[in-house]
Structure 1
Amino acid sequence: MKKSTAALGSVAWFFLAPGIVAIIFPWLITGWQFDNDVPDLLRIAGVAMASTALATLIHAFDRFVAEGHGTPAPVAPPVNLVIGGPYRYVRNPMYLAVFSIIFGQALIFGNCGLLWYGALVICASVIFVHGVEEPILRNQFGDEFDRYRHNVRAWLPRSRPWYAQPSNPETHR
């Protein structure tokens, strides 16, 4: 896939998947109305959490274009296993970023409904990753995915990045 096509597809998927889950549904739940009883410190923590997560999410999407030569969308998957950038620390940085954006908004707006929604998103994501995504990755990338899976946890980030011995060092910077 051409880099420009992968980039356009990734941008479209960014707005379709995490955009709907992390922005549209939280807006529907909260109307982005603030609870005036929330301490400013919690709001600041929520802004820091959500903005850091958004930066991580954008970086993870970029890895699919630069390293994977594809998109995170199932209709145009990467041709290379994406293991660089935030994927050196945790196998599912996009999901963790989406969770953090949701929980960050819960702090910003002081909305318990977002906590319940976030918990539901986590449950659905874990089931989907283990039941659908990982078997597909195992089938597509075989031993390379198994080695990655053995060294990088799915949900709890490593304290130090993992570096594989890539078959093409140029794709894993």
Structure 2
Amino acid sequence: MRKSRAATGSAVFFAAAPGVVAGLVPWWLTSWDAGTAPLAVRAAGALLTAAGAAVLVHAFTRFVAEGAGTPAPIAPTERLVVGGLYRHVRNPMYVAVLAAIAGQGLLLARPILFLYAIVAGAIMMAFARWHEEPALHRRYGDQYERYRRNVPGWWPRLRPWRG
């Protein structure tokens, strides 16, 4: 896949998936009306939300640059993406989306967003386990299995995998 096509597809998928899950749904649940919370809690929420957004942009960029494809299941990468943050955790996009949702929960002092993060996380974990992992195994075989054995799915390892 050409990089321009991969970049366009990734941008569309960015809006359709994490844009909805970490943006539209939290807005729908809260109208982004803030409750009261100490400044330190709100600041931590802003940092967590910004960090989640930065990780998402990084991960989407890796799919275009390294994988020559998109994160969308209908336009997968030509190569397995294992660089950048993917050396620390197999699912940085999901972790980033959950961080952004939790960050908004802190920033807005809205507990409903923490409940939403739990539900969204359970759905993401199920999707990763029962759809993505088997699909990646079929597509990349032993290369994916080696990666899966060395890089945790959800809790980042401190030292990057050098596989």
Corresponding residue pairs, total:
163
| Post-superposition offset of 1:53 | 1.1
Q: Once the 2 structures are TM-superposed, how far is the Cα of residue 47 of structure 1 from its aligned partner? A: 0.5
* Corresponding residue number in structure 2 for 1:113: 112
* Superposition map of 1:6-155 within 5 A: 6-35=6-35, 37-155=36-154
Counterpart secondary structure, 2:153: coil
Segments of structure 1 that go 5 or more residues without pairing to the other structure are 165-173
Cα offset, 1:82, TM superposition:
0.3
Instruction: Give how far 1:163 is off.
Output: 1.4
Q: d(CA) in 2 for partners of 1:33 and 1:63?
A: 34
Q: Which runs of 4+ in 1 moved over 2 A?
A: none
Distance 2:28 2:140 in 1: 38
What RMSD, in angstroms, separates the aligned Cα atoms of the two structures? Answer: 0.5
TM-score by length of 1: 0.93
Deviations 1:82-105 (A, max 9, x none): 000110000000000000000000
Sequence identity percentage: 47
- Give, in whole Å, the separation in 1 of the partners of 2:114 and 2:157: 25
CA deviations over 1:25-50 (Å, ceiling 9, x no partner): 00000100011x21110000000001
- In the alignment, the residues of structure 2 paired with residue 71 and residue 47 of structure 1 have an alpha-carbon distance, to the nearest angstrom, of 28
TM-score by length of 2: 0.99
Which residue of structure 1 lines up, in the alignment, with residue 157 of structure 2? 158
